[in-house]
């Protein structure tokens, strides 16, 4: 074991001060603790955000849902406001990992980590969410910057994510059977800013698909999505799935997500 110190602040101000001084934020530990065990991360100080009440909870603010960074996946999946306003988001949360992961994993940890096969980044991007941090607000379009990379600066904490309530949204993934991360995941949303389609699991990180967005803007139907050719050239291939297989999944899952969004 290597040495590190552990802080458990009770207020956002204290957490922000510790993080700004170099402490590593700890949310549910679902990625960070495993990384430490594997020696992929060796922080000198952990700042456990679990006691900071300001970071938890879900509230409606006008036409937005605001979800605290430390809100667990299980709470988002079961929350009556989320299920009523953005059922596709509650559904997404209910299919993350397994029961243990959903009981510990958090929205903020997932978004900060930006795993290239994670589910929430697709929802933030498709719904046009905004990430709130200790210093500023960042549109999802600007936040995700490729594999495990985000616009967050050292010492900056995510405090909440606000989701404008879409007219319709749905997320579907083809699960990697061992981890249940997305081999491919697609989130489609009809929003006041138009139709947005975000894809996760395809390679370097979550991305919007311009061709699908254009087709679904003309006609929000599975048939319109089926007409769009998906270029495998920009997708990754590995032992789980070739790039061509992933391209086909994007097409099929988009069609099914549109059907699901239409109810
Ligand atoms: C077996 C397994 C299966 C999984 N399946 C899925 C899946 O199907 N879909 C999916 O999307 N995800 C999946 N995950 C990921 C999981 O849902 C968590 O969201 C993810 O691991 C992050 O965990 P956490 O919230 O506990 O954050 P932590 O592990 O505590 O932190 C992750 C990173 O985010 C940073 N961080 C945490 N909170 C903040 C904050 N507020 N501000 C700034 N930085 C912060 C930490 O410093 C660290 O770098 C799976 C994980 C496991 C272990």
- Which residues line ligand 1 at a C-beta cut-off of 6 Å? 24-32, 49, 69, 73, 96-97, 101, 104-106, 108-110, 112-113, 118-120, 157-158, 179-181
Q: 122 lies in a domain? A: no
Mutating to test ligand 1, I would choose from 8, 37, 101, 198 the residue with most ligand atoms within 8 A of its C-beta, which is 101
Task: Tell me what pLDDT residue 180 has.
Answer: 87
Range of the domain at 253: 168-261
Structural domain includes residue 88: no
Residue 237, domain CATH: 3.30.390.50
What phi and psi values does residue 208 have, to the nearest 5 degrees?
-90, 150
Cα separations in angstroms, 183 against 56, 190, 254: 30, 24, 14
Q: Average pLDDT of 123-137?
A: 98
| Residue 59, in any domain of the structure | no
| Residue 1 confidence (pLDDT) above 80 | no
In a domain, residue 157? The reply is no
- With b for 16 or more beta-carbon neighbours within 10 A and e for fewer, the 151-190 pattern comes to bbeebbbbbbbbbbbbebbbbbbbbeeeebbbbbbbbbbb
Closest atom of ligand 1 to CA, residue 110: 19
Is residue 186 domain-resident? yes
**Domain boundary at 11, 26, 47, which?**
47
Which CATH number belongs to the domain containing residue 11 in this structure? 3.30.43
Total domains, the chain: 2
Q: In what order do the strands lie in the sheet with 64-68?
A: 58-61, 64-68, 158-164, 130-133, 137-139
Structural domain contains residue 36 = yes
> What pLDDT is attached to residue 125?
98
- The protein residue with its alpha carbon nearest to ligand 1, atom 31, reads 109
Which residue has a Cα nearest atom 23 of ligand 1?
30
Q: Are 145 and 205 in contact (CB under 8 A)?
A: yes
Confirm whether 13 is domain-assigned. Answer: yes
What is the rounded distance in angstroms from the CA atom of residue 244 to the CA atom of residue 230?
A: 9
Model confidence pLDDT, tens digit, residues 141-170: 999 999 999 999 999 999 999 999 999 999
Least confident range from 16-20, 63-67, 169-173, 176-180: namely 176-180
Does residue 91 lie in a domain region? no
């Amino acid at each position: 074991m290597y040495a590190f110190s552990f802080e458990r602040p009770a207020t956002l101000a204290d957490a922000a001060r510790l993080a700004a001084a170099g402490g590593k934020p700890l949310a549910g530990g679902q990625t960070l603790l495993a990384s430490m065990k594997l020696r992929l991360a060796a922080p000198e100080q952990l700042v456990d955000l679990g006691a900071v009440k300001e970071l938890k909870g879900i509230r409606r603010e006008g036409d937005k849902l605001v979800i605290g960074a430390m809100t667990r996946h299980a709470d988002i999946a079961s929350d009556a406001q989320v299920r009523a306003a953005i059922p596709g988001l509650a559904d997404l949360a209910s299919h993350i990992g397994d029961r243990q992961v959903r009981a510990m994993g958090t929205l903020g940890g997932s978004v900060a980590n930006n795993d290239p096969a994670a589910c929430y980044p697709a929802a933030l991007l498709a719904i046009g969410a905004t990430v709130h941090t200790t210093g500023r607000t960042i549109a999802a379009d600007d936040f995700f910057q490729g594999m495990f990379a985000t616009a967050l600066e050292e010492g900056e904490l995510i405090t909440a994510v606000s989701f404008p309530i879409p007219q319709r949204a749905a997320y579907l993934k083809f699960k990697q059977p061992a981890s249940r991360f997305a081999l491919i995941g697609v989130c489609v949303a009809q929003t006041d800013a138009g139709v947005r389609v975000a894809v996760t699991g395809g390679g370097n990180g979550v991305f919007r698909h311009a061709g699908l967005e254009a087709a679904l803007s003309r006609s929000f139907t599975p048939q319109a999505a089926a007409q769009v050719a998906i270029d495998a050239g920009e997708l990754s291939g590995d032992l789980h799935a070739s790039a061509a297989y992933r391209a086909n999944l994007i097409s099929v899952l988009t069609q099914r997500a549109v059907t699901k969004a239409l109810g």
